[in-house]
Amino acid sequence: MAKTADLFIRAEHADLMKKLNAWDIAYHQNDEPIVDDATYDAAKSRVLEIENEYPELAKDGFSTHVGAAVSEKFKSFPHTVPMLSISDVFNENEVRDWFDKLQTKDLFVELKVDGLSFSARYENGVFVRGLTRGSGVAGEDITANLLTIPDIPKKLSGEFPSVIEVRGEVYMARADFIALNETSDKKFANPRNAAAGSLRQLNPAITASRKLSAFGYTYGDLSERTWNTQSEFFDKLESWGFKTTRQWAHNAKSVADVQEIYNDVMLHRDEIPFDIDGLVIKVNSIATQEKMGSRANSPRWEIAYKFPAARAITKLNDITIQVGRTGVLTPVAELEPINIGGVVVSRATLHNADEIARLNVKIGDKVIVQRAGDVIPQIVAVAETAENALPFVFPIVCPVCGGAVVQESGAVARRCVNSLSCPAQIRGELEHFVSRHAFDIEGIGARQIELFTKLGWIKQAADIFTLIENHGDELKRMDGFGAKSVSNLQASINNARNVDLNRLIYAIGIPDVGEVTAKILAREFKSLDALRVASVERLIEIDGIGEVMANEIVSFFRDEHAVGALDNLLRYINVKNPSNKTIENSLLNGKRVVLTGTLSKYTRDGAKEILEQHGANVSGSVSSKTDIVIAGASAGSKLTDAQKLGITIWSEDDFENAIK
């Protein structure tokens, strides 16, 4: 008997469907994706998992979903044969699960081109109509636009069926994408966006002005068939005047064959002149394809073996050093630019000298680069060692100021000791000071900090509060500024003069003291003067403060330079203690709380602030010491961990009742 979904599962499913529909509209209709492939695939995988376990939710769910509704900007026409999606798999085991169910082991493996799907209908060899995939049932009429693409023949050559719909992918080669972005006012995020945005134009002249390409790979409506395999169909396509990915296609007889092809294509992916996001694996026999048939939204006889959405292989051109606000030297990989999850990546972190040694990475190697969401890209492995690769030698002097570089006992990081006058450290400290969770001074960011420090207008944080007074007239005459922007900047600086104690503690840049620790210290000491004289022993007594952090705090307030700069700053600001905002006798007072999932009525920062006003300690991870987990929609592993540990779980309604 099929399981019945409870309210929580229904809510999670509804939330995921809402997100996926919005993402599909952004991707298919507006050609402006708002999430990367990894995020989309994770949500899609979860919603299909739910629908598989609770079939009642599949009827109007993602299991029957293809693309997005057609845009009202275009005329639409029904597909004579539905234009289905392809089921995704992400690892060798999932390929094997599919392979083991096949009656034939003769496979044809193609590239999965990252472009926009099209269907081109030919009657008696003449192109009569072109459609997008659209909803899979109906597509947008883009006939005039497809006619501008040289790779799509207006008339078929040789022998052809009286009626055939050739289906394929419109794409933009990377070189053409770069050239377009150099000359266009609108900057596209990646070649797929550029191709889709160019193809779905109401004015075909715009499409014609951009260099689009196309491959054919399958067919829809058909009057008669004269080929028996997918491989033979590629021959037919080329005889009719279409281009195919034949150059990169392979036959396979086993999962091992498929994996070998996968590994080889991954390794040489950057040498293919257009973007791909995986392989398409098909049963080669057309008769077997027809016998296997399709599910509601995808054929049973083919799968898409997707590459990791957040990984790619590219060349390591160089390793440079970045100096942070605390003086730590971080090696940065300078990469041959590569598109990863919709973002062109040209730099990645290598963390430290130990990480370079662990990876055994050298300049000139081909490397695997990983990016997930907003996380800084990083090199995870060497894919291929270059014959002329050069080992990297870590510098013994700071590349910015020439100061000595030391590695403290027991530490991994190497640090520039010239904290008083190293320009990189000064800029980093100031950027941290004006950031959102510190003084939150709108109008001053990294670019402005770099400019003002080069001019000598800002040497320490206190100088920000006299910037307009001392240099306002000069600033008004500079490019990018003016009377209005200077006035707005002055207002933002003035607003920042009244600052909560926790924000001040976070802003002054005590090593290892982040936003959460700053709030703990503000609540515990209630004044800056009390914190300044705190001993290591006193600090260690506080829940959440360890010995290393306690020593850093005490050392900071013993540093003459740091204390001098802080005293100078205090002349211009008014420090407020937010502890007086704490609501007495709250159910949440002293509780360790973790937020997970998406709340419908609160932002994450907003909910966090309310919890802290009620005396709760908000943590980012679940442990045995956690008292409450507040779970919104799409709650993930934190909720699972809480359930395993028997921790109290609240809904958003429970949270609201508690704060009332």
CA distance 632 to 596: 6
Closest by CA to 276, choosing from 452, 115, 78, 122, is 115
Beta bridge partners of 167: 119, 218
3 state SS of 460: coil
User: In the structure encoding, which two tokens stand for residue 234, read together?
Assistant: 């590629």
DSSP per-residue letters across 483-517: HHHHHHHHHHHHHTTEEEHHHHHHHTT-TT--HHH
Q: Is 112 among the residues known to form the active site?
A: yes
Instruction: Give the amino acid at 138.
Output: A
Beta bridge partners of 431: none
Which is the catalytic residue, given 19, 112, 315, 608? 112
Instruction: Give the amino acid at 474.
Output: E
292: left (phi over 0), alpha (psi -120 to 50) or beta: alpha
Closest by CA to 167, choosing from 244, 63, 108, 281, is 244
Buried b (16+ CB within 10 A) or exposed e, 17-43: bebbeebbbebbbebebebbbbbbbeb
The angle that helices 423-433 and 446-455 make with each other, rounded to 10 degrees, is 130
Spatial contact of 47 and 62, defined as CB atoms under 8 Å apart? yes
Closest by CA to 217, choosing from 192, 238, 189, is 238
User: In the structure encoding, which two tokens stand for residue 111, read together?
Assistant: 């590239």
Backbone angles phi, psi at 160, to 5 degrees: -150, 160
Backbone angles phi, psi at 58, to 5 degrees: -80, -25
> Would you call 624 exposed, middle or buried from its count of C-beta atoms within 10 A (0-12, 13-18, 19+)?
exposed
3 state SS of 139: strand
**Rounded to 5°, angle at Cα 67 from 286 and 281:** 35
Spatial contact of 204 and 248, defined as CB atoms under 8 Å apart? no
CA distance 466 to 452: 12
CA distance 312 to 248: 18
Buried b (16+ CB within 10 A) or exposed e, 634-651: bbeebbebbeeeebebeb
Q: Find tokens 């699960």 and name the residue.
A: 97
CA distance 31 to 356: 39
Closest by CA to 176, choosing from 159, 195, 197, 157, is 195
User: In the structure encoding, which two tokens stand for residue 113, read together?
Assistant: 């081109």
Residues forming the active site: 112
